[in-house]
Structure 1
Amino acid sequence: MGEFVFDQPPLLSRGTFDRADEIRDDPARMASGWPTALVLPIGPDGRYPVTDARGLAWMPAAEFGDAPPQDAVFLAHTDTDLWALRVDSLDGRTADPRRGAVRLSADEAGLLATALGILNWHAAARFSPVDGGATRPARGGWVRRHVETGADEFPRTDPAIITVVHDGADQILLGRQAVWPDRWYSTLAGFVEPGESLEQCVIREVHEEVGLAVTEPRYLGSQPWPFPRSLMLGFSALADPAEPLRFLDGEIGDAVWFHRDEVREALARGDEWMRGDPVPDDDSGPRLLLPGSISIARSLITAWAGHEV
Structure 2
Amino acid sequence: MKIVKSLPFLLMFAMASVSAQPSHPLDGRIWDTRSKSFISTEVAYERAVSSRHLMLGERHDSEIHHRLQLDALQALARRGRKPTLVMEQFDRENQPALASAQSSGVTDAERLADAGKLDRKAWQWPMYKDLIRFAAERNWSLAAANLSRTEAREIAMGRRQAKLPDIGAAAVKNLEEDIVNGHCGHRMPQDRLASIVLAQRARDATMAEAVETSPPPTVLIAGAGHVRHDRAVPRYMKDGKDVLTIAYVETVDGKIQPSAYDSDGFDLLWFTPPTQRHDPCSQPLSGAVAREKP
TM-score (ref. length: structure 1): 0.22
Q: Which has the higher helix share?
A: 2
Structure with larger RCO (C-alpha < 8 A, sep 6+)? 2
Q: Which has the higher strand share?
A: 1
